[in-house]
A and B are shown apart, each in its own frame.
Chain A
Amino acid sequence: MDFQSFIQSGLLEAYVAGQCTAAERQEVARMAEQHPEVRAELAQIEQALENFAVANAIAPPPGLKDRILDQIDNLPQSNNAPGSNSNQGNSGSSALRIFQGLAVVLAAAAAFFFW
């Protein structure tokens, strides 16, 4: 298929939505590799969706960023070393999650008693 028809086919939109079959994904990857026009088209579709999401942004609560950084700080080291098993931190982080959940419950209970 020539790249113009390929671009018109709607397959790129489906690809960005993550809704292609494996075979279709391979075809998109192949066409993107061979044709800068296809690459540019993909980038523009993705940019439009990013703009859409940014336009619909909603502020998370202010403390969330610190909670995320704290959780990351408490992950076991070398989670991201090349080739390392990214599942290493699982039991650690779920133990931490349970602890954090308990802390929230205890804090809520304390608030209930003292106010």
Chain B
Amino acid sequence: MDNQQLITRLQQQDRAAIGELYDAYGDALFGVVLRIVHSRELAEQVLQDTFVKVWRNVSSYDASKGRLFTWLLNIARNTAIDVTRSAHFQQSRKTDSIENLLHTPGGDALNPDHVGLREVVDRLDDKYRLLIELVYFKGYTQEEAAEETNIPLGTIKTRLRYAIAELRTQFGAGLVTALNLFFLSM
């Protein structure tokens, strides 16, 4: 997907472009949001709010500051976290326990192309996957993650760096394998 073209079309208020953005990233963002608010109904509302915010604020997206998905992720995550801070939400749900965080719903592997990605994530050791979930997808600072997991901050930093490096290697290896298979089949 050519993100640059998509962004340009969004900035020109091309309605089809927001639909394509939803097709490309809606389910990934829904997964993030659902794991924060733990309610499908709330997650739907948050996802809707997210895409409307994206539509209304795309002119403030700055490609030099980061990739499009990171920007989308920040909006979705922050909107979801805001919901969890509302008094109503706090009353109606118990707070995350580590068990809840570890046993989050699995992905749908909706797209056959993404099954390989799913396998990489599943192969990642629990302790690394949990850290990535906490820090990147649930908005925990590294300090908060250290508190939550009772692991020293220094270890958290090292593990996080290792987890990302491991993901990159494994995703990259998957891509190399896929490319090899493609060229062999030609």
Interaction A to B: yes
- The complex places the Cα of A73 from the Cα of B43 at a distance, in Å, of 21
**Which residues from B are CB-within-8-Å of A67?**
48
Flag if A53 contacts B65 (CB, 8 Å).
Answer: no
Flag if A29 contacts B105 (CB, 8 Å).
Answer: no
Interface-central residue, A44, A46, A53, by most chain B CB under 10 Å: A53
| Main SS at interface, chain B | helix
Flag if A51 contacts B55 (CB, 8 Å).
Answer: no
- The complex places the Cα of A65 from the Cα of B160 at a distance, in Å, of 34
**Which residues from A are CB-within-8-Å of B84?**
none
Flag if A57 contacts B52 (CB, 8 Å).
Answer: no
| Main SS at interface, chain A | helix
**Which residues from B are CB-within-8-Å of A58?**
27, 30-31, 34, 105, 107-108
B interface size (C-beta, 8 A): 63
Interface bin, chain A: 35 or more
Flag if A80 contacts B31 (CB, 8 Å).
Answer: no
With both chains docked as a complex, state the minimum distance between the C-beta of A111 and any C-beta of chain B, in angstroms.
16
With both chains docked as a complex, state the minimum distance between the C-beta of B118 and any C-beta of chain A, in angstroms.
5
**Which residues from A are CB-within-8-Å of B67?**
43, 46-47, 50
With both chains docked as a complex, state the minimum distance between the C-beta of A70 and any C-beta of chain B, in angstroms.
10
Flag if A46 contacts B108 (CB, 8 Å).
Answer: no
Flag if B59 contacts A82 (CB, 8 Å).
Answer: yes
- The complex places the Cα of A54 from the Cα of B28 at a distance, in Å, of 5
**Which residues from B are CB-within-8-Å of A10?**
157, 160-161
- The complex places the Cα of A79 from the Cα of B113 at a distance, in Å, of 36
Other than A10-B157, A49-B164, A55-B107, give 15 A-B pairs with Cβ distance below 8 A.
Answer: A16-B70, A46-B70, A48-B168, A50-B70, A52-B132, A52-B136, A55-B114, A56-B104, A57-B109, A58-B108, A60-B27, A60-B30, A60-B44, A61-B44, A67-B48
- Can you identify 24 A-B contacts, CB atoms within 8 angstroms? A16-B136, A19-B141, A46-B69, A47-B67, A49-B73, A49-B136, A50-B70, A50-B73, A52-B132, A54-B28, A54-B114, A54-B117, A56-B32, A56-B118, A57-B28, A58-B30, A58-B107, A59-B27, A61-B40, A65-B19, A69-B18, A69-B19, A80-B11, A80-B13
